[in-house]
Amino acid sequence: MKIFRCDHCGQLIFFENSVCTRCGRTLAFLPDRRRMAALEPLDELRWRVVTRGGRGAPYRLCRNYRTANVCNWAIPAHEAHELCPSCRLTRTLPDLSVDGHAQAWYRLEVAKRRLLYSLIELRLPIHSRDEDPQRGLAFDFLADAPSGEGAVMTGHAGGVITISVAEADDAEREKRRVALHEPYRTLLGHFRHESGHYYWERLIAGSARLDAFRERFGDERADYAQALQQHYDRADDGGWRDAYVSQYAGSHPWEDWAETWAHYLHISDTLQTAAACGLSLRDAPLPGAADLTRPLRGSFDALIERWLPLTFAMNNLNRGLGLADAYPFVLSPTAIAKLRFVHDTIQGAGSTP
């Protein structure tokens, strides 16, 4: 992700901020301009970007910003929508009167907006259910029934991404991470992974890339339920490390793709942040790879050359703070070849800016 500054006072601000911590101005992300902005009120509903002397175009805060404080995006005032492009994709919410669900909703929307930022930056097509009722993208945030029967499964089907609300609870998610022997389990990771399934259907299924996909990831027509069962029954012998980004990726070609896709989003987003911060590293295995500020120019080799030294630095920094590794993965040449395939697919899909 890029880094952003307050238009009024120049303070560095986070993508999630709604108020500048230095000057107190209202902040919002403007998806049409792909940047954070400091706003000043025009009238009861409309705001404009704080500019030096100039008059910025009017914006309205997303309804979920104004009334629920779970969003920090704004849309051009002339648009008919009440909700921003991210909130419009949320189709189902859990019962917000239940303790903890409002907080979970906030966390889910924060992670979803990070996903959408990446998709927009990568120029991937995003079609809502309104635009494409059969296959359009939508999110259902579902809570388990109080009876405890039929636990909600996080997953994707026909454009609809379901996220279990329980995953927004840090203690519960950590419990699941340990139980499933996963090195990494985050809300953002779930969103990125499930978006991979969505884009597999948009960019691979029925496309000219399907044969090349099968060559690298295997034949996705293998029985899915059976493959998952075998995955959960199998003891971890570490054999997956030679070919997959994660153990779960070894369960079925679809999961391999979704896991690899998620890693690609982790990598491209984090590298963009490193470049935006002007980061360079003194020691790197490849000459030139340590300068993260140079443009990537769409080259996968440049991307991966920069990523490996950066993960070493990030993991070491985390260890210095007594935290778990930020990127607890080792990428084998086969896994890197799969990442390259995802990269090429995304580059080929890059449509409207």
Whole-angstrom distance, CA of residue 22 vs CA of residue 4: 14
By CB under 5 A, is residue 8 in contact with Zn ion?
Answer: yes
Query: Which residues from 109-148 bind Zn ion, rule CB under 5 A?
Result: none
Q: Candidates 67-75, 132-140, 141-149, 333-341 — which segment interacts with Zn ion by CB under 5 A?
A: 67-75
With tokens 């009167």, the residue in question is 97
By CB under 5 A, is residue 39 in contact with Zn ion?
Answer: no
| Structure-token pair, residue 55 | 């008059």
Cβ-based neighbours of 318, under 8 Å, separated by 6 or more: 324, 325, 326
For Zn ion, which residue of 26, 64, 154, 162 counts as binding (CB under 5 A)? Answer: 64
Contact 159, 132 (CB under 8 A): yes
Whole-angstrom distance, CA of residue 56 vs CA of residue 53: 9
Whole-angstrom distance, CA of residue 59 vs CA of residue 53: 18
Q: Candidates 5-13, 170-178, 230-238, 322-330 — which segment interacts with Zn ion by CB under 5 A?
A: 5-13
Whole-angstrom distance, CA of residue 209 vs CA of residue 240: 24
By CB under 5 A, is residue 71 in contact with Zn ion?
Answer: yes
Shortest Cβ 281–Zn ion spacing (Å): 31
By CB under 5 A, is residue 20 in contact with Zn ion?
Answer: yes
For Zn ion, which residue of 3, 19, 23, 281 counts as binding (CB under 5 A)? Answer: 23
Shortest Cβ 80–Zn ion spacing (Å): 15
Q: Candidates 137-145, 256-264, 286-294, 328-336 — which segment interacts with Zn ion by CB under 5 A?
A: 256-264
Whole-angstrom distance, CA of residue 117 vs CA of residue 273: 12
Query: Which residues from 236-255 bind Zn ion, rule CB under 5 A?
Result: 255
By CB under 5 A, is residue 195 in contact with Zn ion?
Answer: no
Q: Candidates 70-78, 205-213, 236-244, 343-351 — which segment interacts with Zn ion by CB under 5 A?
A: 70-78
How many angstroms from the chain centroid is the CA of residue 85?
A: 15
What's the sign of the alpha-carbon dihedral 241, 246, 252, 257? negative
Amino acid letter at 124?
A: L
For Zn ion, which residue of 61, 74, 161, 258 counts as binding (CB under 5 A)? Answer: 258
| Structure-token pair, residue 75 | 């849309």
What's the sign of the alpha-carbon dihedral 311, 314, 317, 323? negative
Judged by CB under 5 A, how many residues of this single chain contact Zn ion?
16
Closest CA to 201 of 136, 154, 111, 248: 136
Shortest Cβ 194–Zn ion spacing (Å): 6
| Length of the chain, in residues | 353
For Zn ion, which residue of 3, 9, 228, 302 counts as binding (CB under 5 A)? Answer: 9
Q: Where are the alpha helices (DSSP H) in 234-299?
A: 253-276
By CB under 5 A, is residue 6 in contact with Zn ion?
Answer: yes
Q: Which is nearer to Zn ion, 3 or 308 (CB)?
A: 3
Query: Which residues from 74-113 bind Zn ion, rule CB under 5 A?
Result: 84, 87
By CB under 5 A, is residue 73 in contact with Zn ion?
Answer: yes
User: Which residues lie near Zn ion (CB under 5 A)?
Assistant: 6, 8-9, 11, 20, 22-23, 25, 62, 64, 71, 73, 84, 87, 255, 258
